Structures are given as C-alpha cells and as structure tokens.
C-alpha cells in the first residue's frame, strides 16, 4: 500500500509576518479618530488630578493586565517629585475581592459592586475591552453613569452597547484583538510620557 502524496502547505516566512503584523498595527494606531479621543482622555486625567477625583480602571483577561499597567504608570511613573498625583486603582487587581463577589453573587458583579463601594460622583470609570461584549463591564459602566461618573472606554470594534455607555470611547479599528491590545498599551505609554514630560504637575 502506497501513501498518498500531500501538497506542501505554504507558510509565510517569519519576516513577512512581522512586516504584515506591524503594518496592520500601525494602520490601527494612525486611525484619524484616535487622536481626538486620546487628547480628551488626557484632559479628563488632568482634571481628575486637579479635583482629586478617583480614576477606576478595569478589564477582563488580557485587558485586566493592561488596566493594571495603566494604574502603575499613571499613578506612579507620571510623577517625578512633589505635587498632586493622579489617584487611581485597578478593580481587577484584588483576586480576593473579585473572587468574593463572583462567588457570593455572580461574576458579572465583580466590577459594579466595587464601584458601588469606592466611586463618588465626578470620579472616572475607565473600561478596557478588546474582544467580545462583557456583561461585567457593561454592568459596571451602567452603574458608573447612574452614579455620575465620567465614563471612558478603551475598546475594540463591535461592542456598540459599551460604546454607547462611554462619554469618551477610544475605539481601535482593528480586526485582530492583539492589535487592539497593542494600541491600548501604546496609548498608556503615550499618556504617561505626555503627562510626565509635557504637563506641569500642580502643586499640593
């Protein structure tokens, strides 16, 4: 018995994929609508610092790590000396708190119930979501609007419900969720550098 011949599968060279991936990511980053949203987000962060408002970041999965990264950079790396600092927390950082809410009520409450405890009128809720719609994010943003928070979304395409819940929606127009997450992290670094290097830090 002889084996049947198989046709070799053409696999792109790694360098070709690198160039294609980078080109697609740059196209998403350079979308005209992003700049205005990023500028508005910077203004919101500066106003939160001036008025001592709390900025609450949150996301699921990989976006949870990005939310934590924002808090590290916006809360720490922006500041190089005395002066007012940006008060911020990542609601996904406490495994104890998130799993307690998930276990005792339901997973979709993990962010909204923390907001109910921590947030005051005028604070800022920042949701990060690169993929499919998330009820835990939607529920938190609905509560944020009810409580009078400013709502900001760092999003991918497709979740129109979440977009409608945002006062400022920064939507990365990319098909790959990896590109959406890449751009969300680049926006973090851009904002960090801008607030640290270009904006005078108000005194205490």
The whole-number pLDDT of residue 3 equals 56
Task: Enter the tokens of residue 61.
Answer: 């999965």
Q: What is the mean pLDDT of residues 154-176?
A: 95
Q: What are phi and psi of 52, to 5 degrees?
A: 60, 35
Q: State yes or no: pLDDT of 204 exceeds 70.
A: no
Cα–Cα nearest to 89, from 109, 74, 71: 71
138 in Cβ contact with 153 (< 8 Å): no
pTM score of the predicted model: 0.92
Residue 55 makes CB contacts below 8 A (sequence gap 6+) with 45, 48, 74, 86, 87, 88, 89, 123, 124, 126
Task: Tell me the pLDDT tens digit for each residue of 99-145.
Answer: 999 999 999 999 999 999 999 999 999 999 998 899 999 999 999 99
Over residues 64-107, the pLDDT tens digits come to 999 999 999 999 999 877 889 999 999 999 999 999 999 999 99
CB atoms within 10 A of CB 12: 10
Closest among 186, 168, 174 to 125, alpha carbons compared: 168
Beta carbons within 8 Å of 161's beta carbon, 6+ residues apart:
133, 138
The average pLDDT across 169-196 equals 96
For the chain, domains (ranges, CATH) are 33-197 (3.40.50.10490)
């Amino acid at each position: 018995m002889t084996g049947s011949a198989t046709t070799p599968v053409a696999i792109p060279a790694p360098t070709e994929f690198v160039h294609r991936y980078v080109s697609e990511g740059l196209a998403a980053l350079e979308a005209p609508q992003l700049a205005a949203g990023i500028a508005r987000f910077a203004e919101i962060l500066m106003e939160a610092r001036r008025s001592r408002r709390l900025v609450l970041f949150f996301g699921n999965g990989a976006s949870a790590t990005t939310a934590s990264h924002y808090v590290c950079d916006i809360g720490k790396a922006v500041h190089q000396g005395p002066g007012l600092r940006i008060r911020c927390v990542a609601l996904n950082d406490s495994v104890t708190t998130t799993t307690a809410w998930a276990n005792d009520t339901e997973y979709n409450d993990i962010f909204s119930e923390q907001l109910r405890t921590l947030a005051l009128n005028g604070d800022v809720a920042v949701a990060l979501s690169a993929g499919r719609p998330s009820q835990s994010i939607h529920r938190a943003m609905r509560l944020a609007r009810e409580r009078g928070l400013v709502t900001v979304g760092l999003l991918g395409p497709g979740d129109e419900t979440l977009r409608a819940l945002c006062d400022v929606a920064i939507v990365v127009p990319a098909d790959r969720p990896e590109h959406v997450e890449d751009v969300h992290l680049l926006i973090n670094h851009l904002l960090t550098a801008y607030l640290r290097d270009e904006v005078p830090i108000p005194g205490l």
